[in-house]
């Protein structure tokens, strides 16, 4: 974390008397940096990567901003002085400053906005530290000429201080001497002791149990040797495929330098083993590694695998308190952590000497942040690896088509693990056509006869079953058969889901709820229908069909309490649960050898959404969940219920044929000019007043037209295709009416140019906002 501060200090000392200026960015959209004069008394404190307070904007209010440059060349205009430097140390080093700068440019938002989002709140307000007052003896030459008289109690204190080998915390000292803090202060007043205060780390309770805190709390801060790496190592030898993939990784790690790899390997092929090997190498070199995994895969199983092999591991997950997160941040910045494992935001971990980045399940859409800055952690990670000049491993069984195309173009080196370790077979996938399953008269079952039989047989043979249904709640569609009325959220254009446990109709977007209806609120008909299957209803059906089996549901409703996720998985591991059903939460990363059957209740969920990635996502989730089967000696199989078994993404997923799927899907993307062949951006205009949103969208439309004309060559087709404005597929969301544009271009340069030109001058009127989404994933 030192580079940034050093640059500034060096700069400041080049000419001690010349006036200094600081360029500051603020937490607001698409804005430039503002210059301020650095007053003499702040010269030694100001620095790049620190926060400052200065007057800004309307009414010259004191506003917090981030210093991004310190210079002695005077700005053209007269500038105001900084009023305060907030931080003692830079919050970010050069590398992270460059990275955040790139993000602001690429994702078209303010640099200050990026900085505010990237720095954990706890780091900004020093959570997890406390100000402590220490006392120590007054040095001999500063003692008063005449030794003052002291009371008996004060004598007790002095005796203790004399014995101490280092400064003592005032409160601790008073307690040890059995006196009040006032007695200690009295000695300070008499000039016999002196006080100073310091900010010290307060380890949050939650971290103390973790190996990180217990291992680092006692050392001095220097990068310690890692004891575990030499002794642990891999429990087995790499197989031939792994060795072939390992060689280029090893070479890249040894040599250093930016080098992106796409590690394409089926589930259970030993990708994680390669990550661990690479990380061990990097740690041995005294460097650090960042490992990004989807939040959903941050299971105890995963964490233990890294902890067991990599020594000092910090795990950054979304359940940390501000103080815990801040503590980790400071420990990482101090070089006390060798491996950072975490979801999206771990890509900003302030490592001191980064040696490697790993992204597991690189295709996961949860790496995309859906609020400003709308970054994709995979893309940011690749940029970070480039800036830090280190190798990066992107791993997946079903790579994103963006990464796949990059590998086809040879910008990424592809490494292939085509089969599971120890020649374990890929599970056989049986497609069950729901059109032909026998119906039970008067009943609507989610599980057809074939799957029902499969579950029974699997459990009878001593195996366990995982069932995927990617919709939570009981009934997913509540409507009136008489007038067609559908129960909808009052804030969103979305249907409500009936949750039986909560006895409520719930909006899955905004959380609004209302009591279940028994008659139609529109026409009064009492025959309201509750249809569609969610996990709650599936659970009820399973309990009815298999009364002797232990059935457990795992979705965000059953795992909201701390530790519940782990409890369910532990019970499943111990064989206490026969059938585990759940949403995509169960589709990812779990490794249970005794699972002999995986069932997909409805593969068509999500296939027909108005989103060009619908097929890709369906393929991915089927491949992932199928990967949970047959991981042990017993082998296993997969049953997929669907109404469209002939759909290529379902048919090819059943054959574990990613290669053919990618080929087909890429042809489709090419034909329809979608990514990875075209760059996409989406602009959403929203307001609680429909007309106002509409008006501003029209204004933008005019702006885009002119900007595109300026960017295009005469006689050639427009350099950027602008679709819209149109109503968003979900028009009203949380009381906002939403219009959107979709911009498409062959390269991001021209796309950015058009957006920047229009958005820097577009000033929406009161109550209207816009959002820019570069490389969007959500199309709703
Ligand atoms: P992936 O990350 O591709 O799903 P893993 O690295 O998790 O694969 O490997 C799957 C399982 O096989 C794990 O339990 C792992 O410990 C084990 N494994 C990995 N490599 C080998 C090997 N060379 N020999 C035996 N077992 C291995
Ligand atoms: Zn809602």
> For a pLDDT cut of 90, what percent of the chain falls above it?
65
Distances in Å between the alpha carbon of 171 and those of 136, 154, 179, 191, 217?
13, 14, 10, 19, 21
Residue 762 has pLDDT above 80, yes or no: yes
Give residue 236's pLDDT: 83
Residue nearest to atom 15 of ligand 1 (CA): 270
pLDDT in tens, 140-160: 888 888 888 888 899 989 988
Give the relative orientation of helices 401-408 and 658-671 as an angle to the nearest 10 degrees: 90
Residues with Cβ within 8 Å of 94's Cβ and at least 6 positions away in sequence, in order, are 3, 4, 7, 48
pLDDT band at 213 (very low <50, low <70, confident <90, very high): very low
| Integer Cα distance of 303 and 324 in angstroms | 17
Per-residue pLDDT tens over the stretch 694-726: 999 999 999 999 999 999 999 999 999 999 999
Contact at 8 Å (CB) between 644 and 604? Answer: yes
Q: In this predicted model, which residue has the larger pLDDT, 632 or 412?
A: 412
342 close to 315: Cβ distance less than 8 angstroms: yes
Query: Of 91-95, 121-125, 225-229, 236-240, which gets the smallest average pLDDT?
Result: 225-229
Specify the pLDDT at position 202. 62
* Nearest one of 180, 190, 104, 106 to 143, comparing CA atoms: 190
Burial of 521 (0-12, 13-18, 19+ CB in 10 A): exposed
407, 363 Cβ separation under 8 angstroms: no
Q: Quick one: pLDDT at residue 203?
A: 56
CA of 270 from ligand 1 middle (Å) equals 4
Which one is predicted more confidently, 106 or 444? 106
Q: 205 pLDDT exceeds 50? A: no
pLDDT tens, position by position, 191-200: 899 888 776 6
Least confident of 89-103, 131-145, 208-222, 458-472: 208-222
Average pLDDT (405-431) is 93
* pLDDT for the residue 375: 97
d(C-alpha 527, C-alpha 477), whole Å: 14
Q: Which two tokens stand for residue 741?
A: 């544009």
363 CA distance to ligand 1 centroid (A)?
20
Around ligand 1, the residues with Cβ closer than 6 Å are 236, 238-239, 242, 265, 267-273, 421-422, 591
**What pTM does this model have?**
0.85
Q: What is the pLDDT of residues 546-605, one digit of tens each?
A: 999 999 999 989 988 878 888 998 999 999 999 999 998 887 767 888 999 999 999 998
Name the residue of 272, 280, 308, 422 to mutate for ligand 1: max ligand atoms within 8 A of Cβ. Answer: 272
- Lowest average pLDDT, out of 164-178, 220-234, 504-518, 560-574, goes to 220-234
pLDDT of res. 225: 39
Ligand 1 atom with the smallest distance to the CA of 266 is: 3
**Phi, psi for residue 226 in degrees, rounded to 5:** -100, 110
Q: List all residues 6 or more positions away from 266 whose beta carbon is below 8 Å from its beta carbon.
A: 397, 417, 418, 419, 420, 426, 627, 656
Q: What angle do CA 665, 671, 674 make, to 5 degrees?
A: 70
* Residue predicted with more confidence, 395 or 227: 395
**DSSP line for 692-751:** HHHHHHHHHHHHHHHHHHHHSPTTS--SEEEEEEEEEEEEEETTEEEEEEEEEESSHHHH
Q: Is the pLDDT of residue 209 over 80?
A: no
pLDDT at 589: 64
Distances (CA, A) of 301 to 63, 574, 589: 45, 14, 9
């Amino acid at each position: 974390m030192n580079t940034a501060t050093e640059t500034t200090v060096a700069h400041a000392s080049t000419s001690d008397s010349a006036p200094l200026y600081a360029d500051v960015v603020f937490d607001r959209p698409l804005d430039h940096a503002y210059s301020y004069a650095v007053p003499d008394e702040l010269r030694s404190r100001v620095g790049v990567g620190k926060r400052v307070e200065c007057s800004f904007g309307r009414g010259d209010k004191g506003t917090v901003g981030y210093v991004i440059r310190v210079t002695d060349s005077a700005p053209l205009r007269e500038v105001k002085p900084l009023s305060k430097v907030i931080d003692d140390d830079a919050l970010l080093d050069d590398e992270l400053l460059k990275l955040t700068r790139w993000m602001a440019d690429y994702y078209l938002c303010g640099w200050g906005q990026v900085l505010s989002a990237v720095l954990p709140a706890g780091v900004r307000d020093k959570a997890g530290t406390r100000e402590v007052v220490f006392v120590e003896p007054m040095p001999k030459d500063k003692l008063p000429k005449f030794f003052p008289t002291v009371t008996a109690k004060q004598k007790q204190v002095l005796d203790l201080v004399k014995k101490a080998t280092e400064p003592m915390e005032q409160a601790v000292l008073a307690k040890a001497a059995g006196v009040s803090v006032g007695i200690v202060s009295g000695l300070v007043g008499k000039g016999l002791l002196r006080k100073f205060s310091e900010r010290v780390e307060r380890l949050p309770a939650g971290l103390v149990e973790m190996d990180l805190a217990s291992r680092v709390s006692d050392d001095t801060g220097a990068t310690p040797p890692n004891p575990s790496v030499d002794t642990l190592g891999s429990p087995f030898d790499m197989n031939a495929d792994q060795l072939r993939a390992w060689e280029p990784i090893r070479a890249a790690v040894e040599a250093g330098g930016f080098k992106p790899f796409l590690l394409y390997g089926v589930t259970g092929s030993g990708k994680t083993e390669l990550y661990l090997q690479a990380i061990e190498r990097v740690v041995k070199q005294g460097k650090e590694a960042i490992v990004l995994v989807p939040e959903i895969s941050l299971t105890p199983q995963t964490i233990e695998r890294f902890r067991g092999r990599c020594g000092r591991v910090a795990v950054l997950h979304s359940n940390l308190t501000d103080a815990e997160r801040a503590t980790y941040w400071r420990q990482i910045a101090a070089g006390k952590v060798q491996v950072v494992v975490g979801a999206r935001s771990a890509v900003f971990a302030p490592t001191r000497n980064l040696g490697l980045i790993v992204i597991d399940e690189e295709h996961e859409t949860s790496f995309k942040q859906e609020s400003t800055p709308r970054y994709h952690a995979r893309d940011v990670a690749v940029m970070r690896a480039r800036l830090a000049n280190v190798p990066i491993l992107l791993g997946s069984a079903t790579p994103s088509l963006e990464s796949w195309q990059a590998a086809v173009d040879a910008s990424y080196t592809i490494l292939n693990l085509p089969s599971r370790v120890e020649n374990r077979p890929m599970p056989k996938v049986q497609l069950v056509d729901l059109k032909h399953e026998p119906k039970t008269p008067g009943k609507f079952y989610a599980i057809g006869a074939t799957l029902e039989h499969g579950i029974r047989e699997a459990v009878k043979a001593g195996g366990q079953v995982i069932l995927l249904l990617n919709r939570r709640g009981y009934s997913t569609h509540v409507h009136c058969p008489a007038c067609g009325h559908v129960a909808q959220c009052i804030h969103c254009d979305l249907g409500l889901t009936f949750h039986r446990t909560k006895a409520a109709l719930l909006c899955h977007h905004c959380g609004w709820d209302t009591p279940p209806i028994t008659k139609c609120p529109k026409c009064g008909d009492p025959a309201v229908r509750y249809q569609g299957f969610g996990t709650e209803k599936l659970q009820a059906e399973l309990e009815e069909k298999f009364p002797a089996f232990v059935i457990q549901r795992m979705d965000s409703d059953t795992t909201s309490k701390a530790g519940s996720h782990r409890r369910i998985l532990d019970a499943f591991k111990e064989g206490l649960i026969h059938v585990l059903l759940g949403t995509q939460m169960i589709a990812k990363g779990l490794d249970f050898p005794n699972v002999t059957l995986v069932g997909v209740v409805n593969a068509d969920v999500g296939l027909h959404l108005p989103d060009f990635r619908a097929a890709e996502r369906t393929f991915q989730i089927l491949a992932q969940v199928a990967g949970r089967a047959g991981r042990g000696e017993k082998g296993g199989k997969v049953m997929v219920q669907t109404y469209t078994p002939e759909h290529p993404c379902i048919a090819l997923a059943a054959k574990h044929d990613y290669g053919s799927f990618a080929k087909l899907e890429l042809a489709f993307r090419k034909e329809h000019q979608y990514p990875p062949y075209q760059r996409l951006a989406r602009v959403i205009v929203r307001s609680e007043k429909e007309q106002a949103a509409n008006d501003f969208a029209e204004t933008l439309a005019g702006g885009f037209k002119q900007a595109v004309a300026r960017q295009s060559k005469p006689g050639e087709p427009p350099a950027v295709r602008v679709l819209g404005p149109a109503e968003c597929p979900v028009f009203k969301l949380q009381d906002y009416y939403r219009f959107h544009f979709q911009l498409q271009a062959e390269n991001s340069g021209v796309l950015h140019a058009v957006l920047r030109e229009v958005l820097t001058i577009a000033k929406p009127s009161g109550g209207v906002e816009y959002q820019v989404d570069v490389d969007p994933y959500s199309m709703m």
